[in-house]
Amino acid sequence: MKIFILQTQDQRILNNDLEWSSEADRNAIFHTPHKDIAINQLIELNAKDISLRASVVECEADSKGRPVLTVGQQASNANSTASDQSNAA
């Protein structure tokens, strides 16, 4: 089954509290089986923060309906921090 989550450019994922998190706790991730609901949530978040760069990501669901995250989706801010530090040098 396909479900949809919201993810920022720096690999943070929207949680159920509508906060961006780098933690990959599948129980706390905002997800929906409907793409239009995910898009509406993204629009609402963009209205509050116009500098937000996020997208709707399609992923598989496990038997309990939780998102199954790929390695790229589980990447933490450590990768983006490392690239920021190398650019600063």
Tell me which of 78 and 14 has the higher pLDDT: 14
> pLDDT, tens digit, for every residue of 15-44?
999 999 988 788 899 999 999 999 999 999
| pLDDT on residue 81 | 41
Nearest-5° angle of CA 32, CA 3, CA 11? Answer: 90
Given a contact cutoff of 8 angstroms between Cβ atoms, the answer to whether 29 and 15 are in contact is yes
Note the pTM of the prediction, 2 decimals: 0.75
Give 11's Cβ-side CA count (13 Å radius): 16
Q: What is the pLDDT of residue 61?
A: 92
What are the tens digits of pLDDT across the range 56-83? 999 999 999 899 987 665 554 344 444 4
